[in-house]
């Protein structure tokens, strides 16, 4: 991304560039400093205090972090968050990849399917979650009614400790699988035709072509998508808020829900900030890991 | 080497399988919308009948009118529209201005500042939300729309916008600017007269992305807004879900009204939407 500027560094033009450059970026830099950098620093400080809603705060050192380590609820919500992520990501990626492969075939009317699968992406997560809550209703929700028509008595999806999380995961996968699908379609379309022609000449079947041509070529996109989907899953909140409120008996209470509860229901700002920083560190580690791995094994570094 | 008839028969079979699979998955995606629309027209006693009524026995259009009496739905609507519009305008303007400078103006510290901005994109929103709440309380901006408008423009959304616009401006040849500069144009004129018209596709992408994000934003309104009249659609609807409990016909007519405009725009400009998301969708 370096492009040489042959213009001289001195002279009125260069000075003009200094002024204009800084002038143009100053609103964003100022806003960014005030609304991102400063709060980021303040949150770190707050995580080291017992900051209440009203009144004075006291510096407590690492006490909040120590308390987190022995907070049974923290480990519970962390486990739930990992459960959600591990449940969602493989399902989402495999389904998105499968759909992308099917939809990048040149078949008649294929656009309709692409649209249908993409529509939930355009829909508000809150609306999507509300409708699914209606469909999951125990006595007479659509899903249980359809099950009843085949003779199965459906369970209380959102009121059952073992089923609430899978139900939320399914809802979330269907909401966003279209997004990853579109990203994969875009990547598949970038693969040079000549590679497929060569594979055909070599007598490779459809499966062989996928594993030896398509998949290696789209690995950078797949990898980036996996990381972004994981990070997104770690921050799941809206659908939990609407569908289960973290219940039943905390079986769907995830990390961000817990942070929100601590901060904005119980007003324990210090503890909530420490929890938020734990989330930040997890995201940070994943991001750094992504950079490292990308350098090492990703097939080509063309896009993204 | 397989005999021709066999292989073409297999091809037809696999095509049929593809269509079947795609139809099934598409149906699963569409059923929630059909159910939403269907329920929105139902009489209360027809919502939970067995077997399920895909087409209501009798249509009750009154649901769409009654819902306005139950909640200030028109307020939610207006709030969502004008907040989204302002955020889009602000983001596109400030992000394109900064994006142009980062791409084309060689000023000192440019790369360092850009790197700092980029690295901020991985800050989880949940971390800054807590200090922001205190900050806004200090300013007396809780329960106003100011945080909902300013935070996305200058926060992570804006930074992302800079990134998108910079990538776009980098592809514009430098000769164009140099010619204009020799003609005596100043930077702002170059930006406004030459760069912005060229950047229309990039701006369209950013507009779509920002609009969809803000229209559907839930966390910020939940934190900053308390009064009903100031709520946006997602927040208002989630509150309504708790309040009306089983009055699903009203809730569904509200969700239909909240969803349809965006879907109509989507169907009209589908290609641009999907391409835009493919270009930028890696963010979330």
Chain B contacts in chain A segment 182-241 (CB below 8 A): 182-183, 185-186, 224-225, 228, 232, 235, 237-238, 241
**pLDDT at res. B12:** 74
CA distance A113 to A134: 25
Integer-rounded Cα radius of gyration of chain A = 25
More confident residue, A281 or B167: A281
CA distance A199 to A197: 5
CB contact under 8 A, A39 and B128: yes
**pLDDT at res. B104:** 87
DSSP character at residue A157: G
Question: Distance from B1 to chain A by nearest Cα, in Å?
Answer: 9
More confident residue, A164 or B51: A164
The label of the residue with tokens 């997004």 reads A179
Whether the CB-CB separation of A269 and B130 falls below 8 Å is answered with yes
Asked whether residue A5 is domain-assigned, the answer is: no
Please, how many CA atoms are within 13 Å of residue B259, restricted to the half-sphere of its CB?
26
Please, how many CA atoms are within 13 Å of residue A2, restricted to the half-sphere of its CB?
2
- List A59's β-bridge partners, or say none: A49
**pLDDT at res. B8:** 62
Chain B contacts in chain A segment 53-92 (CB below 8 A): none
More confident residue, A288 or B78: B78
Nearest to residue B255, comparing CAs of B98, B67, B124? B67
Cα separations (Å) of A20 from A1, A23, A127, B98, B99?
Answer: 21, 5, 45, 10, 13
Per-residue pLDDT band for A280 (boundaries 50, 70, 90) equals very high
Asked whether residue A243 is domain-assigned, the answer is: yes
CA distance B260 to A123: 9
**pLDDT at res. B193:** 84
Asked whether residue A136 is domain-assigned, the answer is: yes
Nearest to B32 among A121, A128, A279 (CB): A128
> What is the Cα B9 distance to its own chain's centre?
44
* Interface test mutation site (partner A, options B131, B191, B256, max chain A beta carbons within 10 A): B131
Helices marked H in B193-247: 196-198, 200-216, 219-224, 233-244
The count of domains in chain A is 1
Whether the CB-CB separation of B63 and B40 falls below 8 Å is answered with yes
**pLDDT at res. A14:** 77
CA distance B266 to A63: 50
CA distance A168 to B51: 25
Nearest to residue A126, comparing CAs of B143, B136, B221, B22? B221
**pLDDT at res. A11:** 65
Asked whether residue A8 is domain-assigned, the answer is: no
Out of A13-27, A80-94, A185-199, B158-172, give the one with best mean pLDDT. A80-94
Q: Is the confidence at residue A300, as pLDDT, over 50? A: no
Torsion of the alpha carbons at A198, A204, A208 and A210, rounded to the nearest 10: 40
DSSP character at residue A299: S
Boundaries of domain holding A151: 64-297
ipTM greater than cut 0.90: no
Q: Return the number of other C-beta atoms located less than 10 Å from residue B75's C-beta.
A: 18
pLDDT digits (tens, 9 = 90+) for A58-114: 899 899 999 999 999 999 999 999 999 999 999 999 999 999 988 887 778 888 898
Measured over the CA atoms of residue B167, residue B171, residue B176 and residue B182, the dihedral's sign is: positive
Give the containing element (helix H, strand E) for B54: none
Cβ neighbours of residue A263 under 8 Å, at least 6 residues apart? A269, A272, A273, A276, B129, B130, B133
Question: Distance from B200 to chain A by nearest Cα, in Å?
Answer: 19
Nearest to B124 among A105, A115, A279 (CB): A279
Closest residue, chain A, to B246 (C-alpha): A134
Per-residue pLDDT band for A6 (boundaries 50, 70, 90) equals very low
Whether the CB-CB separation of B124 and A286 falls below 8 Å is answered with no
* Interface test mutation site (partner A, options B10, B15, B22, B178, max chain A beta carbons within 10 A): B22
- List A49's β-bridge partners, or say none: A59
Measured over the CA atoms of residue A130, residue A132, residue A133 and residue A134, the dihedral's sign is: positive
Strand, coil or helix: what is B231? coil
CA distance A274 to A259: 9
Reading chain B (284 residues) residue by residue, the pLDDT tens digits are 444 445 566 677 778 888 899 999 999 999 999 999 998 898 877 777 777 888 887 788 888 888 888 888 889 999 999 999 999 999 999 999 999 999 988 888 899 999 888 888 778 888 999 999 999 998 999 999 999 999 999 988 898 899 888 888 888 887 877 777 777 778 888 888 888 888 888 888 888 888 888 988 999 999 999 999 999 999 999 888 777 666 888 889 989 998 887 888 788 777 777 776 666 654 44
Question: Distance from A298 to chain B by nearest Cα, in Å?
Answer: 17
The label of the residue with tokens 């060229």 reads B198
Nearest to residue A86, comparing CAs of A219, A300, A236, A241? A236
Q: Tokens for B233?
A: 């659609």
CA distance B198 to B177: 12
Whether the CB-CB separation of B121 and B159 falls below 8 Å is answered with yes
**pLDDT at res. A291:** 78
> What is the Cα B275 distance to its own chain's centre?
14
CA distance B154 to B94: 8
Q: Which residues in chain B touch residue A132, judged by CB atoms under 8 angstroms apart?
A: 32
More confident residue, B91 or A17: B91
CA distance B237 to B258: 9
DSSP character at residue B193: I
Measured over the CA atoms of residue B138, residue B143, residue B146 and residue B152, the dihedral's sign is: positive
φ/ψ of residue A49, rounded to 5: -130, 175
Task: Give the pLDDT mean for A128-136.
Answer: 92
CB contact under 8 A, A27 and B263: no
Nearest to A25 among B31, B102, B188 (CB): B102
DSSP character at residue A160: S
- Across the A:B interface, residue pairs with CB atoms under 8 Å apart total 273
Q: Tokens for A126?
A: 């809150």
**pLDDT at res. B280:** 60
**pLDDT at res. B31:** 94
Domain holding A288: CATH number?
Answer: 1.10.3720.10
DSSP string of B129-142? Answer: HHHHHHHHHHHT-T
Q: Tokens for A79?
A: 């486990």
Strand, coil or helix: what is B281? helix
CB contact under 8 A, B32 and A235: no
Mean pLDDT across chain A, nearest whole number? 87
pLDDT digits (tens, 9 = 90+) for A215-248: 888 888 888 889 889 989 999 999 999 999 998 9
Nearest to residue A81, comparing CAs of A240, A248, A227? A240
Q: Return the number of other C-beta atoms located less than 10 Å from residue A109's C-beta.
A: 8
**pLDDT at res. A93:** 96
CB contact under 8 A, B127 and A279: yes
Asked whether residue A206 is domain-assigned, the answer is: yes
Q: Tokens for A287?
A: 């991001």
CA distance B233 to A134: 18
């Amino acid at each position: 991304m370096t492009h040489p500027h042959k213009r001289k560094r001195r002279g009125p033009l260069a000075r003009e560039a200094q002024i204009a450059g800084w002038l143009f970026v100053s609103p964003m830099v100022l806003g960014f400093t005030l609304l991102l950098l400063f709060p980021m620093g303040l949150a770190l400080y707050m995580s080291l205090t017992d900051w209440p809603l009203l009144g004075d705060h006291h510096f407590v050192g690492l006490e909040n972090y120590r308390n987190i380590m022995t907070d049974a609820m923290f480990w519970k919500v962390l486990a739930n968050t990992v459960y959600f992520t591990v449940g969602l990501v493989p399902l989402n990626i495999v389904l998105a990849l499968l759909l992308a492969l099917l939809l990048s075939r040149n078949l008649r009317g294929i656009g309709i399917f692409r649209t249908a699968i993409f529509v939930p992406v355009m829909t508000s997560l809150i609306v999507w979650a509300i409708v699914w809550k209606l469909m999951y209703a125990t006595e007479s929700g659509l899903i249980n009614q359809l099950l009843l028509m085949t003779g199965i008595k459906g369970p209380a999806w959102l009121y059952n400790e073992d089923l609430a999380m899978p139900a939320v995961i399914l809802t979330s996968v269907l909401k966003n699988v279209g997004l990853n699908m579109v990203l994969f379609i875009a990547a598949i379309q970038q693969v040079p035709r000549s590679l497929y022609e060569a594979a055909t000449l070599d007598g490779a079947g459809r499966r062989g072509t996928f594993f030896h041509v398509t998949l290696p070529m789209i690995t950078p996109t797949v990898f980036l998508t996996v990381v972004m989907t994981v990070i997104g899953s770690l921050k799941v909140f809206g659908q939990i808020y609407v569908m289960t409120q973290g219940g039943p008996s905390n079986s769907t209470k995830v990390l961000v829900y817990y942070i929100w509860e601590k901060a904005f229901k119980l007003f324990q700002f210090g503890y909530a900030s420490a929890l938020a920083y734990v989330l930040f560190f997890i995201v940070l580690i994943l991001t750094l890991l992504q950079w490292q791995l990308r350098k090492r094994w990703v097939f080509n570094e063309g896009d993204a | 080497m397989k005999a021709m008839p066999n292989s073409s028969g297999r091809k037809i079979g696999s095509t049929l399988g593809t269509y079947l699979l795609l139809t099934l998955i598409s149906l699963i995606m569409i059923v929630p919308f059909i159910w939403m629309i269907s329920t929105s027209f139902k009489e209360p006693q027809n919502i939970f009948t067995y077997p399920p009524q895909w087409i209501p026995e009798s249509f009750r259009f009154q649901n769409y009118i009654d819902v306005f009496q139950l909640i200030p739905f028109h307020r939610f609507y207006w709030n969502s529209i004008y907040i989204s519009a302002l955020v889009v305008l602000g983001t596109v303007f400030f992000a394109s201005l900064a994006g142009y400078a980062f791409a084309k103006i060689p000023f000192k510290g440019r790369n360092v500042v850009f790197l700092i901005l980029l690295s901020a994109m991985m800050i989880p929103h949940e971390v800054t939300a807590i200090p922001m709440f205190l900050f806004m309380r200090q300013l007396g901006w809780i329960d106003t729309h100011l945080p909902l408008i300013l935070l996305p423009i200058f926060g992570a959304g804006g930074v992302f916008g800079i990134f998108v616009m910079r990538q776009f401006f980098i592809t514009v040849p430098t000769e164009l600017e140099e010619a204009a500069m020799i003609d005596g144009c100043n930077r702002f004129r170059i930006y406004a007269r030459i760069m912005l018209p060229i950047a229309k596709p990039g701006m369209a992408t950013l507009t779509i992305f920002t609009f969809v994000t803000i229209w559907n934003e839930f966390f910020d309104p939940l934190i900053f807004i308390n009064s009903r009249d100031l709520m946006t659609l997602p927040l208002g609807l989630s509150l309504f879900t708790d309040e009306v409990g089983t009055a699903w016909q009203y809730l569904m007519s509200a969700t239909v009204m909240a969803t349809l405009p965006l879907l109509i725009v989507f169907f009209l400009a589908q290609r641009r939407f999907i391409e835009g998301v493919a270009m930028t969708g890696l963010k979330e």
